[in-house]
Amino acid sequence: MTLRGRLTAAFLAVVLGPVLLGAFFAGSMMSAVDRSRSTERLGLAAAAVRTSMDALCQQLRAAADAVALVTDPAARPRAADQVVGRGLAAAVLITDTAGRASYRTPGGPAAPWQDCAGAAPSAGPVRALAARVQLRDAAGTDLGAVAAAQPVDPAFVARLAAVTGVAVTLLDDSAGTDRVSHTTETPAVREAVLAAARRANGNGVTETSDGRYVRRLGPSPGQPLPLVLSVPGERSPGGYAALVGAVALAAALAVLAAWRLARVTTRPLVELAGAVDRVTHGDLAARVPVRSRDEIGRLADAFNRMTRETGSYVAALTSSRDQLRGHLAVLGDTLASTHDLQRILRVILRSAIATTGARAGAVLLLDGDGVLVGRCVEGLDGRWPTADPSDRPPDRSGSATDGSGVDGFAGDGSGVDGSAGDRADPATLRVPFGIGVIGTVAATGVPQRGWWEPADTPTGEPTCQTYIAVPFAAPGAVELGGRGGPDRPGHPPSDLEPSSEALGVLALYDRLGADGFDDDDLVTLRTFAGHAAVAVENVRVHEEAQRLSLTDPLTGLWNYRYLRESIRREVERANRFGRMLSVLALDLDRFKDVNDTWGHAAGDAVLVEFARRVRGEIREVDLAFRQGGEEFVVLLPETDARGATIVAERLGAVVRGQPVPVHGHAGEPIRVPVTVSIGIAVYPDHAATGQQVLDAADAALYAAKAAGRDGYRLAPAPDPAPAREIPVVVAAVSPPDGLPRAGPADSAGAGRGGASSGPHPPRQSRGR
């Protein structure tokens, strides 16, 4: 037997059996269910009536209390009018101890008023429902009563019917006969309902001949009105015949549906099985036609989505793999081909952002002040910290003043020493060590990832929803430690200090298309942080090697190699801006005697002390060099001869004024007197090139030595070049246009007069 036949038989057995059995029980249960539902509705309606009546009586009692609480008898009528005006009652009656009315609000309902607290019927049809409160003075003496009333009219009965959802009839049983006072029943069923109400036993439910169910309610304590509630039954005439017809029709439809369902069910299954076979052989383009929206159709649609997403995922993995290979290739090429730290960090950050799918990121490095300074940022537009930039600690740039970037990382163009108010400058991102998430990651060496609301962002850090931060240190350094850890991200640990191994933090923000960063992103970011650590350490080693190659290891001054580069650069700068450059050539007098008398260690101490005094007497923009042995050179940019002589006098005085203490042969300190001879040359007054001005300063130094040492000499001005005469034709006359020209009168315009080739006018000097 095929799957289609089995499905047809199973469907008929499952459907027709319950249908027939259900039809049998449905016929017997229809009447019982209809009565049960109607009884339940009447019970709910009775509870709603009691609740409504109790709420109305409470309102009337509160209104009467409001009037009774007024101690001034003259003010009680006004209070009664206010109660009526506010809609708390329709009428208020104030009576004395004898029951006589002392005040009645106008427009009230007629008597009798049914008391909310009394179960006995009133004498006559009920006109109003009232709540009475005793009126007493401060001593407790009975002064009468206050009654607040609400009319019982057709509108009142209609409101009860609207609240309960059933028909409501108010009876007048004052004379012992049940007569209708007010009702919401139609005239056609009114008599049948009234007859059923007379047959009702207590609160029992009776049924009328036309299928309505009736329940009598009250009067009783809390519900003093005699009411009749009725609701139509839900059973329709001819229900049994309709039930039989429905069973027959259901049987016919079941046979047809069983055949159709079996066919519709098996066809997609066959197609799905074929598509699964194609997918198992690697054909991810296999699709199943969706012929319906039932479970089989949803299964086919889910299969199509699965194959489509699997194909997209495979394509994304392939693209991500190729992209990652490209980023790694660029990163490797960058690390291998450049020592530009800013470029390396930018490549690392962009690769990390592309690999993890983050929206933004930043690389922060630890400076000498214990502050993490942004060195490279991406995508932080609109996410900059909201802290006042004036609250940030001052930045420190490298000490190199020539723009070479040898000291620290100031020469890579990253703007580390830029203005804190410049939002385009990465250095405006500054986080103290141990403060916030980034500071804590740098202090503890423990990566962090998580969520925060923009309003909860730590001060000084970019605003975001998700973040991940990984520290990096020098290669081979031990992992940072310290108490305080990531469980206190907003407070600096008391015993944390910037470690020598700490380099910085790589942080990413707001991952695209995901709820947050996961452990895989953490592993990936650790890899890029390792590259950043290697890059920073390589740049440090390179810059340290560069610094050592340009400085004198004994005195710490620039060496002769850097002198040649600096004199060329300073001469070009002075020539470009029309400034002067003074050069001082210094030589310690009789330094050989120091070495011969106290030894070379003492001579080294004298050289170190001399270099220290020179540095203390020059400006930050001036450059001091050790040319070799006891010979030194000082470059004074934008300084004329007069300013250079002032510096020379000051240097001679500071060297001459205090002997240098050195250790003698016997271990006793010896104070060695030292003097210096100085030669001065000024560009462009004494030379036209850097080497020439150095030679002129050396010549002036020899002159100072020859003059007896411990002094300075200024290089003599060079001899002016001889003037060259320009021959002018004797017959030269001015042409008709009046412009001066040289040449015969008949050759107008044949030549131009030139300016004299004499010396340049003197430059304006800048004293110091």
Distance between CA atoms of 575 and 683, rounded to whole angstroms?
9
pLDDT score of 345: 85
pLDDT at 301 over 70: yes
DSSP β-ladder status, 712-714 and 113-115: unpaired
pLDDT band at 404, cuts 50/70/90?
A: very low
**620/202: higher pLDDT:** 620
Q: What is the mean pLDDT of residues 754-766?
A: 35
pLDDT at 135 over 80: yes
Separate counts of helices (H) and strands (E) for the chain: 14, 23
CATH code of 552-714, in short, is: 3.30.70.270
Q: What is the DSSP string of 290-334?
A: ---SSHHHHHHHHHHHHHHHHHHHHHHHHHHHHHHHHHHHHHHHH
Please, is 175 exposed, middle or buried when counting C-beta atoms within 10 Å of its C-beta (0-12, 13-18, 19+)? exposed
Are 629 and 607 contacting, i.e. CB atoms less than 8 angstroms apart?
Answer: no
Domain ranges of the chain: 3-232, 250-311, 338-548, 552-714
Q: What b-and-e string marks burial along 8-39, b requiring 16 or more CB atoms within 10 Å of the CB? A: beebbeebbeebeeebeebeeebeeebbeebe
DSSP β-ladder status, 581-588 and 676-683: antiparallel
pLDDT at 633 over 90: yes
pLDDT score of 696: 95
**197/337: higher pLDDT:** 197
Reported as a single tens digit per residue, the pLDDT across 6-26 is 777 777 777 777 777 777 776
pLDDT at 174 over 70: no
State both tokens at 259.
């055949």
Distance between CA atoms of 624 and 760, rounded to whole angstroms?
30
Per residue, what are the HEC states of 337-352?
HCCCHHHHHHHHHHHH
Name the packing angle between helices 76-85 and 3-68 (round to 10°).
160
Distance between CA atoms of 557 and 563, rounded to whole angstroms?
10
The domain over range 250-311 is classified in CATH as 1.10.10: no
State both tokens at 451.
């969520």
Highest average pLDDT, of 1-10, 141-150, 747-756, comes from 141-150
pLDDT score of 689: 93
pLDDT score of 194: 82
Q: For a pLDDT cut of 70, what percent of the chain falls above it? A: 78
Reported as a single tens digit per residue, the pLDDT across 551-581 is 888 998 999 989 999 999 999 999 999 999 9
pLDDT score of 607: 94
Reported as a single tens digit per residue, the pLDDT across 689-715 is 999 999 999 999 999 999 999 999 999
Distance between CA atoms of 371 and 393, rounded to whole angstroms?
8
pLDDT score of 242: 76
pLDDT at 688 over 60: yes
Query: Mean pLDDT across the chain, nearest whole number?
Result: 78
pLDDT score of 420: 38
pLDDT score of 746: 41
H or E stretch including 412? none
Q: What is the mean pLDDT of residues 481-499?
A: 40
Q: What b-and-e string marks burial along 354-376, b requiring 16 or more CB atoms within 10 Å of the CB? A: ebbebbbbbbbbbbeebbbbbbb
pLDDT at 498 over 70: no
pLDDT score of 684: 92
pLDDT band at 611, cuts 50/70/90?
A: very high
Reported as a single tens digit per residue, the pLDDT across 643-664 is 999 999 999 999 998 999 887 6
pLDDT band at 277, cuts 50/70/90?
A: confident
pLDDT score of 503: 83
For residue 376, the cross-strand partners are 363
Give ∠ CA 580-583-587 in degrees, rounded to 5.
165
Instruction: With H, G, I as helix, E, B as strand and everything else as coil, classify residue 639.
Output: coil
State the residue for tokens 């240097």.
651
pLDDT score of 321: 65
Looking at residue 370, what DSSP letter applies?
Answer: S
pLDDT score of 189: 83
Distance between CA atoms of 524 and 355, rounded to whole angstroms?
8
**423/610: higher pLDDT:** 610
State both tokens at 548.
């050592």
Q: What is the mean pLDDT of residues 270-280?
A: 84
Neighbours of 208 (CB within 10 A): 20
pLDDT at 425 over 80: no
Highest average pLDDT, of 32-36, 458-462, 532-536, 702-706, comes from 702-706
Q: What is the mean pLDDT of residues 205-210?
A: 82
Rg (CA), the chain: 54
**7/46: higher pLDDT:** 46
User: How many alpha carbons lie under 13 Å from residue 230 in its C-beta half-sphere?
Assistant: 28
pLDDT at 407 over 70: no
Looking at residue 471, what DSSP letter applies?
Answer: E
pLDDT score of 723: 53
**749/357: higher pLDDT:** 357
H or E stretch including 629? none
Highest average pLDDT, of 3-12, 224-233, 246-255, 358-367, comes from 358-367
**241/67: higher pLDDT:** 67
pLDDT at 509 over 80: yes
The domain over range 338-548 is classified in CATH as 3.30.450.40: yes
Q: DSSP strand E in 619-688: where? A: 623-628, 631-637, 660-663, 669-672, 676-683
**321/416: higher pLDDT:** 321
pLDDT band at 346, cuts 50/70/90?
A: confident
pLDDT score of 14: 78
Highest average pLDDT, of 207-211, 341-345, 648-652, comes from 648-652
Distance between CA atoms of 418 and 37, rounded to whole angstroms?
83
pLDDT score of 483: 36
